[in-house]
């Protein structure tokens, strides 16, 4: 069942890998995806959200809080151990961070680097 839940959502959740951090601390709270949130469909444009554009406009630093908001029960959040696991969508060693029942997940950035 977990594999089914992780399948398609794996690519969405893991676009977080492309957010870069500086070493400066600002403690901002950033809603991932902006007003659209974390979803498969943007009702304001009648198409999938453009997360690549959203990510390229963000400046995320250590200690910022990323908030993922989504309809309860439609998404979940997993962490993959390596870039190679992400690239191949190898979920065998993934760690579930949130089961999606609450409709949101918050993550505090902890170190500089690429995620």
Among candidate residues 37, 56, 47, the one with its CA nearest the CA of residue 104: 37
Taking only the tens place, the pLDDT of each residue in 49-74 is 888 888 888 888 888 999 988 888 88
Instruction: Check residue 84 and give its pLDDT.
Output: 93
Q: What is the mean pLDDT of the chain?
A: 76
Taking only the tens place, the pLDDT of each residue in 31-45 is 988 888 888 788 888
Instruction: Check residue 14 and give its pLDDT.
Output: 44
Residue 49 or 12, more confident:
49
Taking only the tens place, the pLDDT of each residue in 78-111 is 889 998 998 998 999 999 999 989 999 998 988 6
Q: Which domains does the chain have, with CATH numbers?
A: 2-108 (2.60.40.420)
* Helix, strand, coil percentages for the chain (3-state, nearest 5): 25, 30, 45
What's the sign of the alpha-carbon dihedral 33, 65, 105, 114?
positive
């Amino acid at each position: 069942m977990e594999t089914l839940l992780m399948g398609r959502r794996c690519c969405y959740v893991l676009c977080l890998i492309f957010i870069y951090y500086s070493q400066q601390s600002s403690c901002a709270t950033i809603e991932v995806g902006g007003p659209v949130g974390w979803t498969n469909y943007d009702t304001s444009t009648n198409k999938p959200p453009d997360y690549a554009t959203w990510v390229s406009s963000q400046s995320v630093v250590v200690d910022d809080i990323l908030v993922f908001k989504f309809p309860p029960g439609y998404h979940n959040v997993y962490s993959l151990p390596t870039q190679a696991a992400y690239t191949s969508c190898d979920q065998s060693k993934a760690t579930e961070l949130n089961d999606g029942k609450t409709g949101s997940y918050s993550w505090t950035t902890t170190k500089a680097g690429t995620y």
